[in-house]
Amino acid sequence: MKIHPTAIVSREAQIAPDVCIGPFAVVEADATIGPLSILESRAVVKSGTTLGSANHLFEGAVLGGQPQHLHRSQTPGRLVIGNGNTFRENTTVHVALEPHDATTIGDDNYFMVNVHIAHDCRVGNQTIFANNAMLAGHVTVADRAYLSGAAGVHQFARVGQLAMVGGQAHISRDVLPFVTVDGMSSQIVGVNRVGLRRAGIDLAGIRQIKDAYRMIYRSGLLWRDVIDKLRDAFPDGPAAEFHRFLASTERGITPERRPPPGATVRLYHQDDEEEPARNLRVKAG
């Protein structure tokens, strides 16, 4: 273990023998740091935080901060982080609100400068968060999603796998898997073709995703009919994820930008299932 003499490390922390801790870093009691991890100068790992192996915290990163909530518990939850994650300068990640809950981050994620992950968020694997991207509480971001600079996501919203969110977008409803969100309008502008190819999805799978996308956004079907038709038309393959995602939405889904005449506007209210989808309004959060 290599610990700089100016670092402050609690004797009650659990630290693997090969961890490197730089000058003025702080590791509090009840923190766990796995092997091959590196804490640069002024990085902080607070109580209730568990880090897996090979995580790299750059200068000023703070993991395990208290939730920013007026009614937070006196005994908040934990922060559980997997392996191989990079937290660049001044990234902040908070523990969960309640003692039985945890904010969770998977493996091989890259968080750039000033990223903020609030309490009770769920971040998958191999995501990328560009500078100043922000998640409010209880947000879920699935595997290989990409949030561009200064994108912000509202409480309880979800970002699906392999979605691409543009810079400065403000996301208040769920973002479907495999789509691209334009930063200026904060609306969907099509399928994330580049991301799909990089993920190794073949042409047949991409065509299937495009077919499902058109069914959701441009068929003019009622909301419940869209969900049922997705289930029947795409029982397997990558497009099967659309049915699983839409069937579980609570905030509604992000609309498409400038849809053609008669197309579906992708907003959902569970009390309005008999209305055409283009007339639906998002459920109040």
pLDDT tens digits, residue range 131-150?
A: 999 999 999 999 999 999 99
What is the pLDDT at residue 74? 85
Checking if the pLDDT of 272 tops 70, the result is: no
Domain check: are 103 and 212 in the same one?
A: no
Burial of 207 (0-12, 13-18, 19+ CB in 10 A): exposed
Mean pLDDT, the chain, whole residue set: 92
Of 283 and 185, which is predicted with more confidence?
185
Checking if the pLDDT of 108 tops 90, the result is: yes
pTM of the model: 0.90
- Where among 196, 223, 246 does a domain terminate? 196
What's the domain count of the chain? Answer: 2
Domain check: are 151 and 22 in the same one?
A: yes
Cα 284 from chain centre: 21
Q: Is the distance from CB of 154 to CB of 172 less than 8 angstroms?
A: yes
47 occurs within a structural domain: yes
Query: Which residue range(s) make up the domain with 125?
Result: 2-196
As given in the structure block, the two tokens for residue 184 are: 């200026």
Per the DSSP assignment, residues forming a β-bridge with 65 are 94
Domain check: are 150 and 239 in the same one?
A: no
Catalytic machinery residues: 119-120, 137
Domain check: are 45 and 174 in the same one?
A: yes
Domain check: are 46 and 151 in the same one?
A: yes
Q: Give 3-state DSSP helix, strand, coil % of the chain, rounded to 5.
A: 15, 25, 60
Domain check: are 274 and 227 in the same one?
A: yes
Domain check: are 127 and 10 in the same one?
A: yes
Checking if the pLDDT of 200 tops 60, the result is: yes
- Where among 179, 196, 213 does a domain terminate? 196
